[in-house]
Amino acid sequence: MNLEHTHFSEMQAPEGVRQPYVHYADWFSGQDAKRLAKKAAQAEAFFRRTGITFNVYGDNDGEERLIPFDLVPRIVSSREWSKISKGIDQRVRAINAFLHDIYHRQEILRAGVVPIELIARNDAFLPQMMDFSPPGDVYTHIVGTDIVRTGEDDFFVLEDNARTPSGVSYMLENRETMLQMFPELFSKIRVQQVGDYPKSLRRSLAASAPASCTGRPCVAVLTPGIHNSAYYEHSFLADQMGVELVEGHDLRVVDGHIAMRTTRGYRVIDVLYRRVDDDFLDPLTFNPKSMLGVPGIMDVYRAGNITIANAPGTGVADDKAIYSYMPDIIEFYTGERAILKNVETHRCSESQALQYVLDNLADLVVKEVHGSGGYGMLVGPAASRHELSEFAEKLKARPHNYIAQPTLSLSTVPIFTKKGLAPRHVDLRPFALVSPNGVDITPGGLTRVALKEGSLVVNSSQGGGTKDTWVLED
């Protein structure tokens, strides 16, 4: 099992297999390649049968696609996980403190730690949230933190997903698939569970119910509908939590509360886990043309009669320009140095940084400040001369819309191919749940893998796949 690599390999060290993979490598060496190939085909059939698909925006045929699943797990030791989870806990607490401050006293702006114009001209900042505290002071009930690794102890946060992070259903289905296909592995290797996530999510959301809720909190999931790229996940999570999946037209304001239509009349909802963007949430407050939200929900929210998870206006915290200030934000609110490092980030809105980016475009990754899913980005080393020239014009026209980062030497984990194991680049999105009771981080997460040799783009929308993520017990 000799894997050649020029990047940090999470499985193979120069002196042999790395410790977290020792038992797996021992098992793998005794496997028949034909049997594993058959298992890989079975996994694809399982995902297709279960309906684990996503839509790609901009795809002419609107086809639903499978996210490719690779059967070689990504394995993390308990020591490595301890550092990752402590770093996420610290970061999530700082993000919540930052959001509360931005919508109240704005001390971090007064102190000059974050430039005021980054908030003032930020589309994700909602003036409607000023001087309002969500129930339990929780803004980000669910956070997905994208983490990359470049060395033995070098973990970097690539971005914070504080609006409506997706992908948790794949984390759960990947584990379920591995348990079905290789039950013997889980008796040989002690792996921490991720299957409790839906229960933890429901418990965490219920704990965030507004003070006006007197009985058992009623939780529901709000979806934009079947044409949304993450609809499978919306229905999956509602089902797993045992709560209703609703659309905007199922809801209305009844006696100052939000209520959903049922066969027995309207029932009040206390906590709404919404997977609808801010702009479409309430046509009376935001986009008047929206058919996806609930007219009047913001009035009910500000009156303290419903919890919206995540809170409207949280997007200002996962803005990629704000990201560049995260180490300072963490220190400002916690008094601690950031446990997880940031990737060096050039803010193109600053003239010096813009010039540097234009001069070094072929070596950098450039992203839209509000972009997601790998759309609208440039990977300099993989771009043609024409693409570089075109993107330079975009940068000059709207510099404040972009940030740039060095091309990181992402770690690799092997994937199973017809020719055996082959290294591919990965990232990791662990999921944190936040409630007034604290932060709960599921031991694992969604490992996304770039299936094309040499590619650094792991997004499913750009052809990436997923792996099961194993966090070992002590």
Query: In angstroms, rounded to a whole number, what is the distance separating the alpha carbons of residues 84 and 19?
Result: 18
pLDDT for residue 374: 59
Please name the residue that has the structure tokens 């470049």.
150
pLDDT for residue 58: 43
Percentage of residues in the chain having pLDDT higher than 90: 79
Fold of 346-407: Dna Ligase; domain 1 (3.30.1490)
The domain locations on the chain are 346-407
Per residue in 261-277, pLDDT (tens digit) is 999 999 999 999 999 99
pLDDT for residue 459: 74
- With cut-offs at 50, 70 and 90, classify the pLDDT of residue 51: low
pLDDT for residue 375: 65
- With cut-offs at 50, 70 and 90, classify the pLDDT of residue 461: low
CA–CA distances in Å: residue 442 to residues 42, 139, 172 = 27, 19, 11
CB 304 within 8 A of CB 135: yes
Per residue in 311-343, pLDDT (tens digit) is 999 999 988 889 999 999 999 999 999 999 999
Q: Indicate if the pLDDT at residue 56 is higher than 70.
A: no
pTM equals 0.92
- With cut-offs at 50, 70 and 90, classify the pLDDT of residue 296: very high
The mean per-residue pLDDT over the stretch 462-468 comes to 85
pLDDT for residue 280: 96
Supply 320's token pair: 């990629």
Q: Where would I find the H helices in 360-432?
A: 385-397
Cα dihedral 239→241→243→244 (10° resolution): -40
Residue 254: partners with Cβ closer than 8 Å, 6 or more residues away: 266, 268
Per residue in 219-239, pLDDT (tens digit) is 999 999 998 888 989 999 999
- With cut-offs at 50, 70 and 90, classify the pLDDT of residue 2: very low
Per residue in 186-196, pLDDT (tens digit) is 999 999 999 99
CB 328 within 8 A of CB 290: no
pLDDT for residue 407: 86
Residue 126: partners with Cβ closer than 8 Å, 6 or more residues away: 278, 312, 313
The mean per-residue pLDDT over the stretch 382-408 comes to 92
The mean per-residue pLDDT over the stretch 158-177 comes to 92
Q: Indicate if the pLDDT at residue 52 is higher than 80.
A: no
Per residue in 112-148, pLDDT (tens digit) is 999 999 999 888 999 999 999 999 999 999 999 999 9
**Three-state DSSP class for 1?**
coil
Query: What single-letter DSSP state applies at residue 51?
Result: T
Query: In angstroms, rounded to a whole number, what is the distance separating the alpha carbons of residues 318 and 370?
Result: 8
Bridge-based pairing of strands 251-254 and 244-246 is: unpaired
pLDDT for residue 45: 85
pLDDT for residue 1: 40
Q: Indicate if the pLDDT at residue 62 is higher than 50.
A: no
Residue 155: partners with Cβ closer than 8 Å, 6 or more residues away: 83, 84, 87, 147, 148, 149, 340, 341
pLDDT for residue 174: 94
Choice between 382 and 468, residue whose per-residue pLDDT is larger: 468
Residue 243: how many other CB atoms lie within 10 Å: 21
Query: In angstroms, rounded to a whole number, what is the distance separating the alpha carbons of residues 279 and 119?
Result: 17
Query: In angstroms, rounded to a whole number, what is the distance separating the alpha carbons of residues 391 and 18?
Result: 41
CB 289 within 8 A of CB 132: no
| Rama region for 58: left / alpha / beta (φ>0; ψ in -120 to 50; rest) | left
Q: Indicate if the pLDDT at residue 27 is higher than 90.
A: yes
Average predicted confidence (pLDDT) for the chain: 91
Please name the residue that has the structure tokens 């001209």.
121
Q: Which helix (H) or strand (E) holds 187?
A: helix 183-188
Closest CA to 141 of 228, 206, 196: 206
pLDDT for residue 395: 94
Query: In angstroms, rounded to a whole number, what is the distance separating the alpha carbons of residues 227 and 329?
Result: 37
CB 467 within 8 A of CB 445: no
Percentage of residues in the chain having pLDDT higher than 70: 94
Q: Which helix (H) or strand (E) holds 346?
A: strand 346-347
